[in-house]
Amino acid sequence: MRNFLKAAVGCLGMIAGCFSTGEAQDFGGMSFGEAGNFGPPQTSGSSKATVTSYGEASFVIVTELALPDHWHVYYKNPGTVGLPMEAALQPVPGFRVEGPFWQIPELEKGLVDFYGYSGKAKMAFRVTPEKDAPPEATFITTMTWQMCAEQCAAPETKNFSVTLKRGDGQTAPDAAELTGNMAGLAAPDWAEGLKARISQEGKTVTLHLRTNGRPVPQDSVYFFCNQGEINPTTPQIFKKLDDSNYELSMQFNDTTDGLYPNNLPDADRGKPLTSLSGILRAGREGIIITADDRPFSGESQSTAAGTESAPEPSASIPAPPLMGLGEIMFFMFIGGIILNVMPCVFPVIGLKIMGFVQLGGGNGKKCWPTPLPSYWAS
């Protein structure tokens, strides 16, 4: 399904190019085609480690993109139809890898609202040396992204590497900066022992939080869901009930506007949510939250994943439902009709006709099957 979406984005890019008049078109966060007034984006990036050498303890590999002014990239749930960043750390014998871990995104406003990053965008992996770790290793992160401004540039894929030697595992001077603003690598104090559950009444989804009495920062509180279950266009309201209990009210995304899809299985559509996962931001910090609709109990309920290992990419988000063959054929047919009525196709029709005539040696009659109908042969 993801490849089908990428192909669809490419087709939309060609369509936008056909209609282009040479001036940039402002589509906010849902733009396709050329680069607009800002020219081709120049992206730089690097991969670094939180240690200068590795010992026995875990360390983190962080890959960071430096984005030019006016450009942005998308979180794994873009909120709308943008292509999210992707990252994979190539396997290295002797090391166990967990991730990817995501930078806390921002809600960006435009013609459509979306979740993404500007200025810089980071993804990280936690690496644990094993007993058979080699004396030196190179860690290669493959990243794919699509940058957008007034319109979107073509998706890019690049490898970024960092080489480390076995040593005392000394912490790198910029380790704190590298892992700052990342979710899942370390839990803030207020998230220790945090419990979370959800409830839904109509279109209102409420995330209930219970702490050990440590106050949750009440500024910039926002929940970035993984599956698109929450509508990004409506405000989220955070409320403190007492010293240990908080509520965050959000609006369910029923996809009726067509601009903000969700990846819920067909069997779950129209039903109240039974679980919710994503990044909860509070203040300048964020944690990974996984909550279900069960009431709080006296037993330990681990729902805040501030320090737990992130699952492999294939397990972090359930695969979206596959489209049936009939649906795929229908959209391919519609796409073909649209492409064939674009102004950029008209010159090709004339060229094709001329090619047929040339195959007939300049005699138009030779281009047709024989014998010709009597009313054409004359």
pLDDT, tens only, 298-307: 544 445 555 4
Task: Give the pLDDT confidence score for residue 203 in this predicted structure.
Answer: 93
Instruction: State the pLDDT at residue 77.
Output: 93
Q: How much is the pLDDT for 319?
A: 39
**Cβ-Cβ contacts under 8 Å for 216 (sequence gap 6 or more):** 190, 209, 240, 246, 282
Across 247-252, average pLDDT: 96
User: Which of 24-38, 263-277, 333-347, 362-376 has the weakest average pLDDT?
Assistant: 24-38
The confidence score (pLDDT) of residue 356 equals: 60
Average pLDDT, the chain: 79
Confidence of residue 149 (pLDDT cuts 50, 70, 90): confident
Residue 127 has pLDDT above 50, yes or no: yes
Residues in the chain: 378
Burial class (CB in 10 A: 0-12, 13-18, 19+), 341: exposed
pLDDT at 83 exceeding the cut of 70:
yes
pLDDT at 145 exceeding the cut of 80: yes
- pLDDT at residue number 312: 42
CB 172 within 8 A of CB 277: no
How is 304-368 classified by DSSP, letter by letter?
A: B-SSSPPPPHHHHSPPPPPPPHHHHHHHHHHHHHHHHTSGGGHHHHHHHHHHHHHHTTT-GGGGS
Q: Which residue has the tokens 């873009």?
A: 78
| Amino acid residing at 100 | P
Distance CA 5, CA 257 (A): 19
Predicted confidence band of residue 291 (pLDDT cuts 50, 70, 90): very high
Q: How far is the C-alpha of 342 from the C-alpha of 93, rounded, in Å?
A: 52
